[in-house]
Each structure stands twice: as structure tokens, then as C-alpha cells.
Chain A
Amino acid sequence: MKATLCLLLPLLLVATSCKSGPKRIDPDGDEAVTSAGVDYNEIIEWTDTLTQRMLTSGFLDREFEFGPKPVKMVVSNIENKTDLSHFPNDLLLGNIRSALLNSGKARFVSTYGSDGTDEMTRDTQDLKDDPLFDPTQVPEQGQATVARLSLRTQILWTHSQGLDDAQNTYVVRMFVSDVKNGEVVWEDRSNPIAKKFERGSVGW
């Protein structure tokens, strides 16, 4: 009997500690994890909303003011004012940049800014002095684009606490400034994402 228990007990412990392995799911589906923060599908909703609002406002169509389309833009500072230490700014801004590029109305520069930069434009200039490369293939200096419009982002958060429940509410605020004169030419915010949870049920 003792021997049987000694054999069964470890098996029981192993069996109860076993969890199912990872499973691929639809990121928009009902199986997706809902956290007290901002989840992937909610970020996509934000990018969709903000892109729509930029495109429908018409400021990117003012050729008399900002020059011919596509208007050149740069990503300015991204300020995270939430409780989330690792907010996926790249995902948020990457989708917006891509959508605006596809629309043909805006094009972002990659030579400077706070997101989506690529050092290769500068690094290519260094090849002129490298004997391995044909210097005539290196683009002439002074051709990089200076953006006319700057996109600034703030991710905002409020926290409410009741007796038993707590709520986090997140909003993205964006505004576009004309770097020529510092005027804000567009400003809007996303729809809020509100999460309610029992106090003490979340790790922070």
C-alpha cells in the first residue's frame, strides 16, 4: 500500500502541474487574453480610428498650405503617461504610418524622428570615402527631405478605484504641427479603452 502511494503521489503531482501547451489563436477572437491594460486588438482599433480621423479631416489635402501630396511628416516625441511600462509605441505608430503612406497623402521621413528611423541614409553617405564602393553611385549630399508636419503622441491613463472594483481608462492623444510656424493643424484623440477589474486581482 505504501509502495503504491509512493508511486502514485508523484504521478498525481506531475499530472496536476501539467498545463496545455501554447495554441495559436485569432488575435481578435474571443480566446484572446483580456488584460487590465491595452491589448493588441484594442491598439488596432486605436490606429484605425486615428487614421480615419486624420484622413477625413482634410488637412493632408491642403496642397496650397503644405505643398503637393504626399505631405512629408516626421514622428515627434511619444509620451507614455500610463501605468504600462512597455507600451508598444512601434505597433501604434507603425500602423498609422503605413496606412497614411498607402493613402498617398503623407510620407514619413526615416532620417530623423522618434519612430521608424533608419540610419542607412546617413550610412550610405559614408560609402563615398570607402574605396570598396563606386562614389558616383552614392547620392549627392543635401538631398534628404525635411518634414513639414510633425506628429506628436501622448498615451494617457486614468485610474478609478471603488470599494471592490477598479478601472483603468486609456486614451491616445495625437496632434500634428506645422514645423514652419509651430501651429497645430490637426488634433484628436482615440476612443477610450476602459477596463474594469476586481481590486487585488491584477499584479500591480
Chain B
Amino acid sequence: MRNLLYFLLAGPFLACAACQTPEYEPPDPADGIPEEVWTDQLSMSSDAALIVKVVRVHQATKNELQRLQVTFENRSPQNDKSFRTLIDWFDYSGLKVSSPNDGWKSHIIRPGQQFVVDSIATSPDAVTWRMSVDTWKR
């Protein structure tokens, strides 16, 4: 009787131990804005297009403010590259919404790295954006 009890208690544990733990797969980043949409909003110089490419674009409202993230990838597998971005925000009327932090931002991207450029509109009036990408000589 006791042996039967032990068997009944141990059985489930043995069965679970025999199960293979599925390999952990990290979640993919959520799909961003379709390329045909952001292509009109992102302007890249021909020089910049040779060194970086856009991987994905995300836009969301965070705490009532528009937030934008653009992920770039270094096309070079061997060399650091430097580029800069300029983001302008616009309101419903198409008028630019200015911020004291406006201006080109410089970035250094490692070989083969993906680099996220993050921006948040500092005014709740901002609804859409335009990004310019250019090279940067350090």
C-alpha cells in the first residue's frame, strides 16, 4: 500500500521530468509602421544610405505625447559609422512644433549593430513627424 502511494506521488514528477523544456525564443519586436508609410516621412541622404539602413519604425502615444523610435542598422560588418538625424514634429495643421531641443543629433554605430534613435514630441499638439538622416564627420 505504501509503495503504491509512493508510486502515485512520484509518478507525476517523473512524467514532468521526462518532458522536454521547449527552447526559449525571445519575442520579436512588434511590427512597426509599414515601410510604404514611413518612406514618405524619412529622408535619407545618398551618403547616409550607403552606411546605414532603416530596420523598423515605431510610433506610439506615450503619456499623451507622440513618441518615435527608428531602428537603424550599420551596413558595414567591420567599421564604425557615424550619422546624424534631425526630427521635426508637426501639428494637425501641418505647422512645425518647435522645441528648444531641436537640432541634428549625432550617433556612432558599431559594425553590424542595430541602433535605436528615440524621440518624443515635447508638445501635445504634435501629431506627425519628419526625419532627415545624413552622414556626420567626427
Contacts and interface: CB of A to CB of B under 8 A. Distances in A.
Interface residue SS majority, chain B = loop
A16 interface: no
A67 interface: no
Given A30-B136, A30-B137, A52-B118, A99 B100 contact: yes
B122 interface: yes
A100 B124 CA distance: 11
A44 interface: yes
A197 to B, nearest CB: 12
A61 interface: yes
B122 A99 contact: yes
Nearest to A50: B101
Interface string A27-42: 1111000100000010
A95 B106 contact: no
- Considering residues A30, A58, A100, which has the most beta carbons from chain B within 10 angstroms of its beta carbon? A30
Contacts of B104: 28-29, 41
Interface in A164-198: none
B133 to A, nearest CB: 14
Interface string B110-138: 00000000111011100000000000111
A51 B106 contact: no
A55 B65 contact: yes
A52 B118 CA distance: 8
Nearest to B119: A52
A95 B100 contact: yes
Nearest to B99: A99
Contacts of A47: 100-101
B62 interface: yes
B103 A28 contact: yes
A56 B100 contact: no
Given A30-B137, A41-B106, A45-B106, A56 B101 contact: no
A99 to B, nearest CB: 4
A161 interface: no
Given A28-B84, A30-B137, A48 B124 contact: no
Contacts of A58: 63
A67 B119 CA distance: 27
Contacts of B122: 51, 55, 99-100, 102-103
Interface string B56-81: 00000011110100000000000000
Interface string B20-61: 000000000000000000000000000000000000000000
A56 B120 contact: yes
Contact of A103 (B67, B105, B118, B124): B124
Interface of A: 27-30, 34, 41, 44-45, 47-48, 51-52, 55-56, 58, 60-61, 94-95, 98-100, 102-105
15 contacts: A27-B103, A28-B103, A44-B103, A45-B106, A48-B101, A48-B103, A51-B120, A52-B119, A55-B65, A60-B63, A94-B100, A95-B101, A98-B99, A99-B101, A102-B122
| Nearest 8 pairs of A and B residues by beta carbon | A28-B104, A48-B101, A95-B100, A99-B122, A98-B100, A30-B137, A52-B120, A44-B103
